[in-house]
């Protein structure tokens, strides 16, 4: 009986360790039609807002703060966004990108994917450009068609061109679309929209 109890205890501890802690300070990229007074518009964005959100248990796994719940935090949207950068950094440290090579053997792009609907929130992680500096240079372009993915490209129009149709399909067909726009990321700069792959 003692052995069984020890086994069950160890199993429950292991399971508890495997479950990620739910993040409560996330800026969720979403279509501009979802905008609220708590949302922030990224630089040059025409179709995307960043809304204060938190992870939740169950479907859809993330929710935007209601007016009442956000007021309880005692934060402005701008202060929330600053703190959300730390959450994004923490998430970034826990995930690895899949690197995709082209027919010529060179890296074409990289993508972060996951079951947790927080991948698009990596947009705000300050160290994201540094991860790809050696591969793509000081500036990267990112696309986040849905909450579960973030694509990283070299900062060149031709590098993204062949993937536009796929990105647009992902955006249009996902019930939880994130953004139809492409963001430029550089160290020390806020995310800035440079193009769009869908309307």
pLDDT tens digits, residue range 62-117?
A: 999 999 999 999 999 999 999 999 999 999 999 999 999 998 999 999 999 999 99
pLDDT reported for residue 19: 62
Sign of the torsion formed by the C-alpha atoms of 124, 126, 128 and 133: positive
Q: Is the per-residue pLDDT at 5 higher than 70? A: no
pLDDT reported for residue 199: 79
Q: What's the CA gap between 138 and 154, in Å, rounded?
A: 9
Total number of residues shown for the chain:
199
pTM of the model: 0.89
CB atoms within 10 A of CB 97: 19
Of 152, 162, 158, 146, the closest CA to residue 183 belongs to 152
Q: Is the per-residue pLDDT at 20 higher than 90? A: no
Average pLDDT, whole number, for the chain?
A: 91
Q: What's the CA gap between 62 and 175, in Å, rounded?
A: 13
pLDDT digits (tens, 9 = 90+) for 70-85: 999 999 999 999 999 9
CB atoms within 10 A of CB 174: 14
Q: Is the per-residue pLDDT at 13 higher than 70? A: no
Helices (H), the chain: 2-18, 67-73, 77-94, 128-131, 133-136, 157-161, 164-173
pLDDT digits (tens, 9 = 90+) for 177-195: 999 999 999 999 999 999 9
Phi, psi angles (nearest 5°) of residue 171: -65, -45
pLDDT reported for residue 8: 40
The residue extents of the domains of the chain are 21-196
């Amino acid at each position: 009986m003692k052995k069984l109890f020890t086994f069950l205890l160890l199993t429950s501890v292991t399971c508890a360790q495997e479950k990620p802690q739910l993040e409560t300070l996330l800026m969720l990229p979403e279509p501009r039609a979802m905008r609220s007074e708590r949302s922030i518009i990224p630089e040059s964005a025409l179709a995307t807002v960043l809304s204060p959100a938190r992870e939740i248990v169950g479907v859809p796994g993330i929710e935007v703060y209601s007016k009442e719940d956000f007021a309880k935090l005692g934060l402005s949207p701008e202060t929330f966004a600053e703190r959300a950068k730390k959450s994004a950094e923490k998430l970034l440290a826990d995930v690895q990108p899949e690197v995709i090579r082209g027919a010529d053997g060179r890296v074409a792009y990289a993508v972060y994917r996951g079951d947790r609907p927080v991948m698009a929130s990596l947009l705000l992680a300050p160290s994201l450009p540094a991860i790809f500096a050696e591969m793509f240079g000081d500036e990267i372009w990112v696309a986040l068609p849905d909450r579960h993915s973030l694509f990283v490209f070299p900062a060149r129009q031709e590098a993204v061109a062949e993937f536009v149709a796929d990105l647009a399909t992902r955006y249009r067909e996902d019930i939880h679309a994130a953004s139809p726009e492409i963001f430029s990321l550089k160290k020390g700069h806020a995310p800035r929209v440079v193009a769009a792959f869908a309307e």
